[in-house]
Amino acid sequence: MSALQSNNSYGAKTPKGNFAEYIREIIRVSPEDVIADARDAGLMVNSVDDFRSLSPEAHHMVDQLTNHYVNRAAKWCAFSGATSGVGGGVTAITLGVADFIHVAGRLYRLCLRLAILNGFDPRDPIYREAIEEIYLSSLDFDATEKFVLRGFLGRPAAKPGRLRASVNYARLIIAVGQKLWARRLAFRVTSRFFPLFGATVGAGSNYYFAKRVGKKMSENLQRIGPITHDSRD
């Protein structure tokens, strides 16, 4: 089933005591699903590499699929913002962190999808590092913050696809979500003293935040030239 057909609900039952597994499920993206979406949109692609040699006309279809992915991620982020926005200040504390961790996970999922559309294979460690840089930069983390956050990945011992790697990526997403929550806490707590207003603001701010970040991800990916393993030697 392609990514356009699949639908992992934010409201789906989360395994008890295993929030990290829930996050790993959110950020699990199959290149084959993105390729299937692209083919459904009319693109003649069979591999991630094919996205790097598309015609200008085909890039128009890539842009449409990019907008679809960004809009979809923004809607999921808006839904979680509305859910955590109903209630007062206590709700902002208890659900606020979970809200932003979910947003961080949805945006990482988005970044992986957009990267594949630009010919970046997340199964390749070299491309994966570039994707992580784009993800963190698009969220406006500075060099020091990015250095600290990358520490959660345990790069030397964990490669994408391994169990330890999936655990470490979940830790990264949780850490990013906590930082995003802290960054915007004051404004969100104030709005949630008024439940309906809080739900509206929570949904709206998450939606436009995701749209803005998605646009930056797409622009950053397009600015990066071809990456080779030799360039890292």
Confidence of residue 196 (pLDDT cuts 50, 70, 90): very low
What are the tens digits of pLDDT across the range 174-189? 889 888 877 766 555 4
Predicted local distance difference test score (pLDDT) of residue 187:
54
- Total Cβ atoms within 10 A of residue 68: 15
pLDDT above 70: residue 58: yes
Question: What pLDDT does residue 214 have?
Answer: 95
Poorest-confidence range of 46-50, 55-59, 216-220? 55-59
User: Which position has the higher pLDDT, 199 or 71?
Assistant: 71
- H helix or E strand, kind and range, residue 53: none
What are the E-state strand segments in the chain? Answer: none
In the prediction, which pLDDT does 204 show? 64
Q: How far apart are CA 92 and CA 189, in angstroms?
A: 6
Residue 18 pLDDT grade (very low, low, confident, very high; cuts 50, 70, 90): confident
Q: In the block, which residue shows the tokens 């069979």?
A: 46
Instruction: Report residue 26's pLDDT band, with 50, 70 and 90 as the boundaries.
Output: confident
Contact criterion met (CB below 8 Å) for 43 and 34: no
Q: Give 157-179 pLDDT, tens digit per residue.
A: 445 545 445 668 888 888 898 88
Q: CB–CB of 86/203 below 8 Å?
A: no
Q: Is the separation of the CB atoms in 204 and 78 below 8 Å?
A: yes
Q: Distance between CA 35 and CA 54 in Å, rounded?
A: 13
Q: Measured between alpha carbons, how far is residue 12 from residues 7, 26, 161, 229 in Å?
A: 10, 11, 24, 40
Ordered DSSP codes for the chain:
--TTT----TTSPPPTT-HHHHHHHHT---HHHHHHHHHHTT---SSGGGGGG--HHHHHHHHHHHHHHHHHHHHHHHHHHHHHHSS-HHHHHHTHHHHHHHHHHHHHHHHHHHHHHTT--TTSHHHHHHHHHHHHHHTT--HHHHHHHHGGG-GGG--TTSHHHHHHHHHHHHHHHHHHHHHHHHHHHHHTTSHHHHHHHHHHHHHHHHHHHHHHHHHHHHH-----GGGG-
Question: pLDDT per residue over 72-115, tens digit each?
Answer: 999 888 876 555 444 455 555 555 677 788 889 999 999 999 99
Amino acid in the structure at residue 167: V
Comparison of pLDDT for 69 and 22, the residue scoring more: 69
- CA-to-CA distance for 193 and 203, rounded, in angstroms? 15
